[in-house]
Structure 1
């Protein structure tokens, strides 16, 4: 891509320390059904480690502990990403948080993170595209940079979905986990960067995957709680089928728009929804197993956080080097889906030295502004 580009220069993630195994989920399901007076048929309702692993690939997931929220996990991931980028909070021009489980309806989780980090120069926005949120955020960050609105964007994907799980429903309660992943995206004249972004949606399928309570249609009330409207609802079979089809099509388009072929992809980092979905997409794209990064077995489906967490682990494991072409794909409630191709850039130590004058100028401007506003 000629001209100004958007490159990822920092990355970091955080997951809560509390591990919840498949056996733990099995016990929660049994306890919940017993409390509700629901019968359990061992033959039909068996939900043990083998059952969950075979159908999802998940062995365990992380649940947020007391005092942990989407904002607090996001701030921890963000600090790690900024450290990797060699930047401070005051270097951030804009903060984007992709989440379906914000701390509040308002103010935005991004505003809470801005305050926690001390990033008082940054504009903020929350973005809700469910599991596809991080990819939508990448596209928005890229647009802000190319438009000249921002030079440094902090993008976070984070979720605390464990607090919206019905442990009487094995179709959803076995899937989700909590965590946060963050990347720093900067303006650059480098030839590498975010090369394509394909974003799609189909609102006619909204009722197949949703959290019905808590908004203006079904505000929180005694009835909404009694009727289980604050739990995630999903039509699993339909979602699975559409996810494979739509993500595969978006991936092919994103690769083509980046001017590449499928064999040019160095690493495929998909949304970690279900290992069978990942395998099906990789097969359609003819990508060998060594080019597919999977960590769903450790964290489950962390929705908007899954791609940045997986990306961080892939980079830290040495599976990504500068110039590698990465493919991201995701699918989530809405339905929303998308794909993105980026050529990896990484840390910019040499570039950072060149930008020292600009940073000093920015700090001077901020101090003058503080003096004027006293």
Structure 2
């Protein structure tokens, strides 16, 4: 028998306030046309008073549990991917655990920025395969609006807030066709200064603001994402022709289109939500996955590949049969 982590349910949560490009243009030197042409973004959601990384994560988690037909008490592992935790410590995952009313389970955060959800899914998959966990709640949640420099039009227009969640559970079968089939992660810390936050508890004692060299990040992203997608396909003994859907990190419409071209994939197979949510960092992949499940695009039995690249640099891909 083969033991795999299968996706039982997905969920998502967004702040109440949607902010259009035109609204941003009234605050910084930009325009709707400038943003759309360069990024594909039309709107994003910004967290307000009382909305935090943990409240958004809990909302997404509740939706995922409902979709999976499980109670919170059924969960024995929570992994939360975030670069914007509620506090330096404890882990925001433990706040979600408490909010869900779970008395005891393994709960911790993963910090890999935009690749965080892929890192979290891969860790959860490993723990489920090994028997260390049976039912996992994997969440990506961010309030990036709180680390943006709102005077820097090159970055503040790109990001938004939100959360996405996925319930993974152990399933044993003879062929092991359903569930997570393969995953591959990478990191290269030599590129720290291309995408980073200029603060931290151990350095400045402040939260800091996001800084990015966009053109160089774009160049690395297209190459790295196409490469890791090929790697994960090879691990599963599949080709691009076997893919039903690509659910990528929603950083920039041009990066998504460039990656699809390198793989020879039709644009129609790429789930794109960057126009609605902007870049929500670790939340972007699970947000997009949940949207495509709920609107009927991703169906049971479909082969889906998720991929992302973020600050660090970190990048990775995960292939699953939904």
Query: TM-score, normalization: structure 2?
Result: 0.97
Q: Which of 138, 161, 172 is equivalent to 1:189?
A: 172
Is 1:202 the equivalent of 2:188? yes
Contact 1:25-1:173 within 8 A present in 2 as well: no
Is 1:279 the equivalent of 2:262? no
| 1:255-309 per-position Cα deviation (integer Å, ceiling 9, x unaligned) | 1111111110000111000000000000001111221110110100000000000
Contact 1:109-1:126 within 8 A present in 2 as well: yes
Instruction: Identify the residue that residue 153 of structure 2 maps to in structure 1.
Output: 170
Contact 1:155-1:183 within 8 A present in 2 as well: yes
Q: Which structure: greater helix fraction?
A: 1
Instruction: Identify the residue that residue 347 of structure 1 maps to in structure 2.
Output: none
Is 1:16 the equivalent of 2:15? yes
Taking the TM superposition and a 5 Å limit, the aligned residue runs for 1:1-374 are: 3-30=2-29, 47-190=30-173, 191=176, 192-220=178-206, 230-344=208-322
2:26 aligned counterpart, secondary structure: helix
Q: Which runs of 5+ in 1 are unaligned?
A: 31-46, 221-228, 345-374
Q: Distance in 1 between matches of 2:167 and 2:305?
A: 18
Post-superposition offset of 1:97? 0.2
Post-superposition offset of 1:343? 0.5
Q: Distance in 2 between matches of 1:260 and 1:112?
A: 39
1:10 aligned counterpart, secondary structure: strand
Instruction: Identify the residue that residue 39 of structure 1 maps to in structure 2.
Output: none
Instruction: Please give the root-mean-square deviation of Cα atoms over the aligned residues, in Å.
Output: 0.9
1:189 aligned counterpart, secondary structure: strand
Q: Distance in 2 between matches of 1:140 and 1:200?
A: 13
2:312 aligned counterpart, secondary structure: coil
Contact 1:22-1:48 within 8 A present in 2 as well: yes
Q: Which runs of 5+ in 2 are unaligned?
A: none
- Greater gyration radius: 1
| 1:66-96 per-position Cα deviation (integer Å, ceiling 9, x unaligned) | 1000000000000010011111111110100
Q: When the two structures are aligned, how many residues end up with a matched partner?
A: 319
| 1:188-222 per-position Cα deviation (integer Å, ceiling 9, x unaligned) | 014211111110010000111111213201212xx
Post-superposition offset of 1:119? 1.4
2:138 aligned counterpart, secondary structure: strand
Contact 1:12-1:183 within 8 A present in 2 as well: yes
Q: Distance in 2 between matches of 1:255 and 1:17?
A: 38
Q: Distance in 2 between matches of 1:300 and 1:161?
A: 11
Query: TM-score, normalization: structure 1?
Result: 0.84
Moved over 4 A (4+): none
2:219 aligned counterpart, secondary structure: helix
2:28 aligned counterpart, secondary structure: helix
Q: Distance in 2 between matches of 1:200 and 1:218?
A: 28
Q: Distance in 1 between matches of 2:104 and 2:50?
A: 27
Contact 1:273-1:300 within 8 A present in 2 as well: yes
2:2 aligned counterpart, secondary structure: coil
